[in-house]
């Protein structure tokens, strides 16, 4: 099955800046982003599918393939960030000169909403307490092991079925570079994946996610920003973000989670958006120590 839909784009829409959070950097077996085209494989409530987004001028053409094509096409505007609600943000941004400047510079960036929880949750769990290089390497290995060919001509792989993740002994994930703690958190989430996908909104998803042992507020925020387009979700517990916020908003080289939330409070409703703007602008606190080392858990 193939379906197509055309969408108008707002002035200044940032195709790459909006869609890059869908995929891991360098290579994602479940999708590609190059030039004015993005391809994404997904498991939908109606079955497996893939979505091709192609930008031509002020128009976006969405083409869906497979049993999930209709579901993906119906959500194509949300997946492209076109349902993002910026109501009230320009006024909030104007209260701080740096945020106001970044909001103007990156005005085309939108918060997308895929409507799929487990696909993003798997990545977020793998990203807990390790470097991005380690997490992305593990993610690619797991997708290649469990993934199946996605519908469509792009040669993508579908993300793993939660049932397959849950049924695999935890030690089988060790060669992928994932230790027991993260594996078991992933498997607990896989067992309730169907319930998570039925959450009505970001708040319900956050409550259900943080009730799972091994999943905290950081992981939940990483998920709901992408699955629900929650522009207020803040990744409390992150290694870098409190320092970035403290430096960008107050000129303080180091910040705690409590200080970060205090500084972000005037932007409530869009606190996560402010964090994303600081990241997009390359704002970073001074570094005083060595980087976190990249490990090879598979060799332990």
Summarize pLDDT for 178-218 with one digit per residue, the tens: 999 999 999 999 999 999 999 999 999 999 999 999 999 99
Q: Are 160 and 146 in contact (CB under 8 A)?
A: yes
pLDDT of residue 26: 83
Residue 293, pLDDT above cutoff 70:
no
Residue 23 neighbours by CB under 8 Å, 6+ apart: 30, 31, 32, 33, 40
**Whose CA is closest to 110, among 74, 85, 76, 75?**
85
- The model's confidence at residue 243, banded by pLDDT at 50, 70 and 90, is very high
Please state, in angstroms and rounded to a whole number, the distance separating the CA atoms of residues 51 and 62.
Answer: 7
Which pTM does this prediction carry?
A: 0.92
For the residues 243-260, what does the mean pLDDT come to? 97
Sheet holding 59-65, edge to edge: 2-8, 59-65, 47-56, 37-44, 31-34
pLDDT tens for 111-157 read 999 999 999 999 999 999 899 999 999 999 999 999 899 999 999 99
H-helix or E-strand spanning residue 27 = none
Domains (range + CATH), the chain: 2-83 (3.30.310.20), 118-200 (1.10.340.30)
Euclidean distance between the first and final Cα of the chain, in Å? Answer: 46
Write down the residue that tokens 């078991």 correspond to. Answer: 184
- Which 8-state DSSP code applies to residue 192? T
Please state, in angstroms and rounded to a whole number, the distance separating the CA atoms of residues 260 and 275.
Answer: 10
């Amino acid at each position: 099955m193939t379906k197509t839909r055309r969408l108008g784009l707002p002035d200044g829409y940032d195709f790459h800046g909006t869609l890059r959070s869908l995929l891991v950097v360098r290579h994602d077996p479940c999708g590609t982003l190059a030039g004015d085209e993005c391809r994404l494989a997904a498991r939908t409530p109606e079955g497996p599918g893939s979505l091709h987004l192609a930008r031509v001028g002020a128009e976006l053409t969405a083409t869906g393939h497979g049993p999930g094509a209709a579901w993906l096409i119906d959500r194509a505007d949300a997946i492209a960030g076109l349902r993002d609600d910026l109501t009230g943000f320009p006024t909030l941004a104007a209260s701080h000169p740096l945020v106001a400047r970044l909001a103007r510079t990156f005005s085309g960036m939108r918060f997308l909403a895929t409507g799929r929880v487990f696909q993003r949750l798997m990545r977020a769990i793998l990203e807990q307490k390790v470097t991005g290089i380690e997490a992305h390497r593990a993610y690619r290995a797991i997708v290649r092991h469990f993934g199946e060919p996605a519908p469509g001509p792009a040669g993508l792989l579908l993300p793993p079925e939660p049932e397959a993740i849950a049924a695999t002994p935890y030690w089988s994930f060790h060669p992928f570079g994932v230790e027991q703690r993260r594996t078991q958190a992933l498997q607990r989430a896989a067992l309730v994946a169907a319930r998570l996908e039925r959450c009505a909104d970001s708040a319900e998803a956050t409550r259900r996610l943080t009730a799972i042992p091994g999943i905290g507020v950081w992981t939940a925020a990483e998920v709901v920003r992408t699955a629900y387009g929650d522009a207020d979700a803040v990744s409390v517990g992150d290694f870098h973000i409190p320092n970035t916020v403290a430096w960008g908003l107050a000129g303080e080289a180091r910040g705690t989670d409590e200080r970060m939330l205090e500084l972000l409070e005037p932007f409530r409703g869009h606190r996560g958006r402010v964090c994303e703007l600081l990241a997009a602008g390359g704002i970073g606190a001074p570094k005083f120590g060595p980087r976190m080392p990249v490990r090879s858990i598979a060799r332990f």
